[in-house]
Amino acid sequence: MKKALCAALTATFALAACGEYSQVANYKPGSYSGKSDTRPWEGGQFAGNKQAWEAALANRNQAQNEYKRAQ
């Protein structure tokens, strides 16, 4: 949050200096700096076993395909 505010402030200064180009903070992929999130397979029922998690999802995905059960 703080970091984001800093970025916003910096942007404001930049704006004063460079006219239209710096009205906003430039978005760069990966600039998110908030709270980190755990990956879906971490903790909980998969306890870090990514393969098991992927298998579970793959299996679940096929439930949306009724052609698997009725041609």
Partner 1 sequence: MLTRKSHSGGAARADFAAQAASTAAGGVLAATMDRRTFLKRSGLAAGGGALATQLPYNMIGAAEAADVPAGKGGAEVRRTVCTHCSVGCAVDAVVENGVWTRQEPVFDSPLNLGAHCAKGASVREHGHGEHRLKYPMKLVDGKWKRIKWEEAIAEVGDKLLAIRKESGPDATYWIGSSKHSNEQAYLMRKFVSFFGTNNMDHQARICHSTTVAGVANTWGYGAMTNSYNDMQYSKAALYIGSNAAEAHPVSLLHMLHAKENGCKMAVVDPRFTRTAAKADIFTRIRSGTDIPFIWGMLYHIFKNGWEDKAYIDARVWGLDKVKEEIMKWTPDKVEEVTGCKEADVYRVAEMMAKNKPSTVVWCMGQTQHTIGNANVRAMCILQLVLGNVGVSGGGTNIFRGHDNVQGATDVGPNPDSLPGYYGLAAGSWKHWCNVWGVDYEWVKKQYASQAMMEKSGITVSRWIDGVLEKNELIDQDSNLRAVIYWGMAPNSQTRGLEMIEAIKKLDLLVVIDPYPSATAAMAAMARKDGVYLLPACTQFETSGSRTASNRSLQWGEKIIDPLFESKSDHAIMHAFAKKFGFENELCKNYQMVKDKTGWEEPMTEDILREINRGCWTIGYTGQSPERLKLHMKNMHTFDVKTLKAKGGPCDGEYFGLPWPCYGTPEMKHPGTPNLYDTSKHVMDGGGNFRANFGVERDGTSLLAADGSASKGADLQMGYPEFDHVLLKKLGWWEELTDDEKKKAEGKNWKTDPSGGIIRVAMKNHGCHPFGNARARALVWNFPDAVPVHREPIYSPRPDLVEKYPQAADKKAFWRLPTLYKSLQDKVKDISKEYPIVMTSGRLVEYEGGGDETRSNPWLAYLQQEMFAEVNPKDANDAGFRNGDYIWVETPTKGRMKVRAQVTERVGAGTVFLPFHFAGWWQGKDMLEYYPEGAAPIVRGESVNQGTTYGYDQVTMMQETKTTLCRVVKA
Partner 2 sequence: MARMKFLCDAERCIECNGCVTACMNEHDMPWGVSRRRVVTINDGVPGERSVSVACMHCSDAPCMAVCPTDCFYKTEEGVVLHNKDACIGCGYCFFACPFGAPQFPNGPAAFGARGKMDKCTFCAGGPEENGSKAEQEKYGRNRLAEGKLPLCAEMCSTKALLAGDAAVVSDIFRERVLRRGKANDVAWGWATAYGKPEQAAPAAKGEAK
Nearer to partner 1, 16 or 63 (CB): 63
Work out what residue 70 binds among partner 1, partner 2, none; the CB cut-off runs from 5 to 8 Å by kind.
partner 1
Please state, in angstroms and rounded to a whole number, the distance separating the CA atoms of residues 17 and 61. Answer: 52
* Nearby residues of 46 by Cβ (< 8 Å), 6 or more positions away: 40, 52, 53, 56
The DSSP code for 34 is S
Task: Name the residues that contact partner 2, by CB under 8 A.
Answer: 1, 4-5, 7-8, 24-25, 27, 29-46, 52-54, 56-58, 60-67
Chain residues binding partner 1 by CB under 8 A are: 20-21, 23-24, 26-27, 45, 63, 66-67, 69-71
